[in-house]
Each structure stands twice: as structure tokens, then as C-alpha cells.
Amino acid sequence: MTPQQIDHENQIIEAFVDDHQAKYEKGAIEHAPGFLGEVPADQLLDMGIEEVLDQASYLYTLKPKLTALLKFKDKVTKAVTNCSQNDMHSQIYIELLDALEEIK
């Protein structure tokens, strides 16, 4: 792997470990005094399915927001590219307002 890939991998691993530790500890407190390893398999399966369904809802909700942000970027890029120096500010302002309407 390249040094850039190794750095990226390490950033992901570090973020995952930090996030997982915090999430696990929060869950342990919320579900005390239970131990996740003692939860029956069928219940773990149901809990896992619930989590997958939640993740799908989050991703489908996030997708149009990210699409709107990409459109925003394209509109700003187009506005800057197509404007003369004197007209650039007013045109950018109009394009920014239009794009912001799409971002909730």
C-alpha cells in the first residue's frame, strides 16, 4: 500500500475504535447489568435486523442530502466559470440561494 493508503487506513481504524468503544460503553450502561454475550441468539438476530433497518433509513435519508450538496457544488462551479468579473457576485448569490433551497 502507498503511504497515503496506510494513513487513510489508520485514520479509519482509529475512528472506528474510538466510536465503537464509546458506543459499547454507552450500551453497557443503558442495558446494565446485562452482558451482550449472554443475550440469546434469536434476540441478537432480531436486534441486528433492527439495526440494519435503521441504517437503511439513515442512508436513504442521507442520499438526497448528499446529492443536493453535489448539485450545489456544480452550480457554484458553473456560476463562477460562466460569470464575468463584474457580474460574478450577483450570479453566485442567485445560484447559492437556489442550491440552498434543495438542502434541508
Same domain, yes or no, for 79 and 50? yes
What pTM was estimated for this model as a whole?
A: 0.66
- The pLDDT score that the predictor gives to residue 84 is 67
Average pLDDT over all residues of the chain: 88
Segments forming the whole domain that contains residue 10: 1-38
- Burial call 30-64: b when 16+ CB within 10 Å, e when fewer: eeeeeeeeeeeeeeeeeeeeeeeeeeeeeeeeeee
- The pLDDT score that the predictor gives to residue 48 is 95
Which pLDDT band holds residue 25 (cuts at 50, 70, 90)? Answer: very high
Same domain, yes or no, for 11 and 47? no
Q: How many domains does the chain have?
A: 2
Same domain, yes or no, for 5 and 56? no
Same domain, yes or no, for 19 and 61? no
Indicate the helix (H) or strand (E) that contains 1: none
Which pLDDT band holds residue 70 (cuts at 50, 70, 90)? Answer: confident
Same domain, yes or no, for 6 and 45? no
Yes or no: say if 67 and 87 are a contact pair by the CB < 8 Å rule: no
Query: Which residue type sits at 21?
Result: Q
- The pLDDT score that the predictor gives to residue 18 is 97
Same domain, yes or no, for 96 and 46? yes
